[in-house]
Amino acid sequence: MQTIAQGCAAASRIETNELQLLSNLESLNESVAAYKKRVSEISDSDQIKSLERLKQKSPLGLTITTTMDQRKLEIIEIKISMMPQSSGTVMADASQQHQQQNIPHDSSTEPEPADNSIVPAGAVSANSDNTLTRTSTDASDTESSTGIFSDTESSTDASDTESIEPIKAHIFQCQTNYLQLELATSFGCYIRNASFSPTSKNLIINGRDNENHFSLSIWRQGVDGNWLPKGKVKNSDAIFRYQLNQSENTLLSISYDGNITMSTLNNDGRWQEVVVLEHTTANDKSPRVKADFSPLQDKMMSYDPQSGEINVLHEDSGWWTPLTQTKEINHCQQTVPQQVSFEATNHYLLTYQGTTATIWGCSNETNCLEEQKVIECNGQIAGAQLSHDEQHAVIFNEGSQAIFLGCDVDGNWSQIGEICHPQWSMKNDKQPCANRICEATFNASGHFALTRDIDNTVIISGYDANYGAHDNPWTGKTEIQRCAEAKFSASGRKLLARQGSGSFTLWECNSTSDRLVNSQTIKHSGSHKAIFSPSENLLLSYGNESNFACIWGDDEKGNLIEKARVCHQGGVDYAAFNAQEDSVLTRSRDRTVKIQALDSQGRRQEPLVVQHQNSIIDARFSRSGRLAYTISLDDTACILGRNDNGQWMKLAVTNSDADFIRNASFNELENHFLTYGNKMNQKDKHQFGLVQLWGIDDGKWSIKEQIKLNHPVKSAEFSPDGDHLLIHCNDRMFSIAGISEGGTALLWKIPASSAGT
């Protein structure tokens, strides 16, 4: 029984290899054509050098026959030997080849983002210096897979090991063997981005395969832990946005040419295209097509700003079908920069064109998009917004009028009120000009809204609990003059307005009485920003013109008072609460980061001060709020935490030999910390990028792994579950013919034994 199972698995791998071989041959033909075109444009001597380099880099068993006639180099035949060789001999020969050949890379131009080659986990363990292999078939598509890497499940049996081709170029070198490489995949030209899905089950890599093809590859981890290719979305133009739905069984992607592609998982666990919506873009500067899943995830809505076309697709048992439109929909592009132009919704859709606004109902029962309410306005409509619960709407014209609508329990929409701003505003030269509304926002409950005009007058409006039979239920509550910024808290229970520099007013939004109550004003000279704490019980104000951040809280008598200050020598450009609200982190232009801890009564304790030698790039709390980090241009990062007494302290200081640390992060369990960066000196071609991974041993942070790469690191991140590390890098370009070496994504497994450290 076991023999049969093994035979079936081997047959399945062979079938997968056959499909991969056909795909790779297609890529090979495209790469050869691109090479022949480019190489014909350079000098005879450079053509000869390119040919020598191409043959030296080609794997054993690959024969390239060429001819040169009238200053045109052509590849006329490619033969791949099927003679078996032992993996040990292949590795030894490849090592010798690499020692003999060192190809320089030099270009200040970085290629745009690209996917094709795969290395099973067992491939790297065979290399004694823990170096990933890269092979090429031609100079134009060096990293395209052409049958060189296996596209099957990772395996350690002899047949799979023998299929791995020789090492051609070092991509990375590890200091220790702490991590296990599970996947390496490359694009011929570049990788735009690589990311995990929210559940960590899917890996999505977006890039450019060659001159004419862009693609988005999806990988998924099998039950045996191996990462397998599960599908690819191909396009003739770059894919600039992609998104999985919450169930992670539908993938939405949008390309620059306006095409929207939806792919779903089939019964075999592979992705397949099910819907393609084609749009036409006028040029690169045209507004991009928008598309998104609805909050309930049962619909997808797309909007083409150029044509005004809107499409709504409904999901039913895994199928996505368009809703029938009883009338043609034309939606005007938003003319107000502060207002969101288009958002996918659940039950209703608000559109406008000229002086007419329409509310459409999305009916799942009839599979129709039906007209619910038509509103005629006195002037051209400049913007419109639905509330979060889709029970209220506001429409404002290019003048000073805002119309509010409400939906009753039967789904009928009607006008419930009207708010008018001043018709005129004053220019800087004291000359009057026509005023207009530029922003409208509802709070979370939909019972209050704010509208702001270009003269920075904000009107707060909402329901009137005591309105009469002949009154409008929606009325104005208060007017705020010279309001630089106004916002509702996340819960919608509070409203905060900034009036000029250093003056903030806070209201309570009482949904029971529909009134704004407990208005309080705080003064903090030089501050320009105020934020709510997670519970919204505290406020934090700071600014570039102030030498301190101020923490505000309740005095248990309903009064908002200053609880503590965090002082700096320079302005404060960033401040934040931790999740527990017992600490505040501040970052200053004086090259210091401070963490101010508060006791249970909100009183300040002795702060932690982190002094850097150069400007600070970033400083943040971890998600749990129990740790924090700093990154500086002095090429150091600090891990911060608390001792047994609750005092914040430095736990570790990282110091890399990279010239610049780009970013840093903790994993989900916060038992690992990574930094990544690159050398600033582009003439240094050796080990360009660096990724450092730190972990905890016996309660102390120490370096676990250091990965040096010969390519610039574009990003390094943990998977959402914290079990994997993903590195994405793009090579520079050849100085000859501008031929790109491609981009590579490396996926590493973090040891399970460290998960609970």
pLDDT digits (tens, 9 = 90+) for 338-366: 666 788 999 999 999 999 999 999 987 78
How much of the chain, in percent, has pLDDT values that exceed 90? 50
CA 465 – CA 447 distance, rounded (Å): 11
Higher pLDDT, 61 or 20: 20
Q: What is the mean pLDDT of residues 169-174?
A: 76
Whether residue 126 has pLDDT greater than 60: no
Whether residue 114 has pLDDT greater than 50: no
* pLDDT at residue number 168: 33
Lowest mean pLDDT among 100-109, 392-401, 500-509: 100-109
* pLDDT at residue number 682: 59
Q: Where are the domains of the chain?
A: 11-187+656-757, 223-317, 526-633
Whether residue 428 has pLDDT greater than 50: yes
Residue 644 confidence class, pLDDT cut points 50, 70, 90 = confident
* pLDDT at residue number 336: 65
pLDDT single digits (tens) 547-571: 999 999 988 888 899 999 999 998 9
DSSP 754: G
Q: Which residue has the tokens 């691109």?
A: 34
Q: What is the mean pLDDT of residues 464-489?
A: 87
Residue 145 confidence class, pLDDT cut points 50, 70, 90 = very low
Q: What angle do CA 338, 341, 343 make, to 5 degrees?
A: 125
* pLDDT at residue number 669: 94
Whether residue 402 has pLDDT greater than 80: yes
* pLDDT at residue number 105: 28
How much of the chain, in percent, has pLDDT values that exceed 70? 72
* pLDDT at residue number 117: 35
pLDDT single digits (tens) 658-682: 678 899 999 999 999 999 998 876 5
* pLDDT at residue number 307: 86
Whether residue 593 has pLDDT greater than 50: yes
**What count of other Cβ atoms lies within 10 Å of the Cβ of residue 595?**
25
pLDDT single digits (tens) 78-92: 554 443 333 333 333
Tell me, letter by letter, the H, E, C secondary structure of 603-653.
CECCCEEEECCCCEEEEEECCCCCCEEEEECCCEEEEEEECCCCCEEEEEE
pLDDT single digits (tens) 691-735: 999 999 988 999 999 999 888 899 999 999 999 999 999 876 433
Strand order in the sheet with 437-442: 437-442, 448-453, 458-463, 474-480
Higher pLDDT, 687 or 573: 573
Q: What is the mean pLDDT of residues 311-323?
A: 89
* pLDDT at residue number 151: 34
Residue 472 confidence class, pLDDT cut points 50, 70, 90 = confident
Residue 179 confidence class, pLDDT cut points 50, 70, 90 = very high
* pLDDT at residue number 21: 59
pLDDT single digits (tens) 130-140: 333 333 333 33
* pLDDT at residue number 465: 78
Among 23-32, 485-494, 596-605, 731-740, top mean pLDDT goes to 485-494
Whether residue 536 has pLDDT greater than 60: yes
CA 456 – CA 226 distance, rounded (Å): 57
Q: Provide the CATH number for the domain formed by 526-633 in this structure.
A: 2.130.10.10
Global pTM exceeds 0.85: no
pLDDT single digits (tens) 229-256: 999 998 888 999 999 999 999 999 999 9
Q: What is the mean pLDDT of residues 604-625?
A: 93
CA 311 – CA 302 distance, rounded (Å): 5
Whether residue 582 has pLDDT greater than 90: yes
Whether residue 11 has pLDDT greater than 60: no
Whether residue 367 has pLDDT greater than 50: yes
Whether residue 273 has pLDDT greater than 60: yes
With b for 16 or more beta-carbon neighbours within 10 A and e for fewer, the 410-441 pattern comes to eeebeebbebebeeebeeeeeeeeebbbbbbb
Of 210, 255, 212, 256, nearest to 233 by C-alpha is: 255
Q: How far are the Cα atoms of 85, 344, 487, 494 from residue 491, in angstroms, in the given order?
A: 66, 21, 11, 8
Quick one: CA torsion of 595, 600, 602, 605, rounded to 10 degrees? Answer: -40
pLDDT single digits (tens) 150-171: 333 333 333 222 222 322 346 8
**What count of other Cβ atoms lies within 10 Å of the Cβ of residue 552?**
22
Strand order in the sheet with 250-255: 239-244, 250-255, 260-265, 271-277
Count of H-run helices and E-run strands, the chain = 5, 54
* pLDDT at residue number 664: 95
Lowest mean pLDDT among 49-63, 197-211, 389-403: 49-63
Lowest mean pLDDT among 37-46, 125-134, 440-449, 593-602: 125-134
Q: In sequence order, which residues have a C-beta less than 8 Å from that of residue 703 and are 6 or more positions away?
A: 654, 692, 693, 694
Whether residue 217 has pLDDT greater than 90: yes
* pLDDT at residue number 149: 28
Whether residue 203 has pLDDT greater than 60: yes
Q: How far are the Cα atoms of 72, 130, 140, 446 from residue 417, in angstroms, in the given order?
A: 75, 70, 64, 14
CA 167 – CA 149 distance, rounded (Å): 11
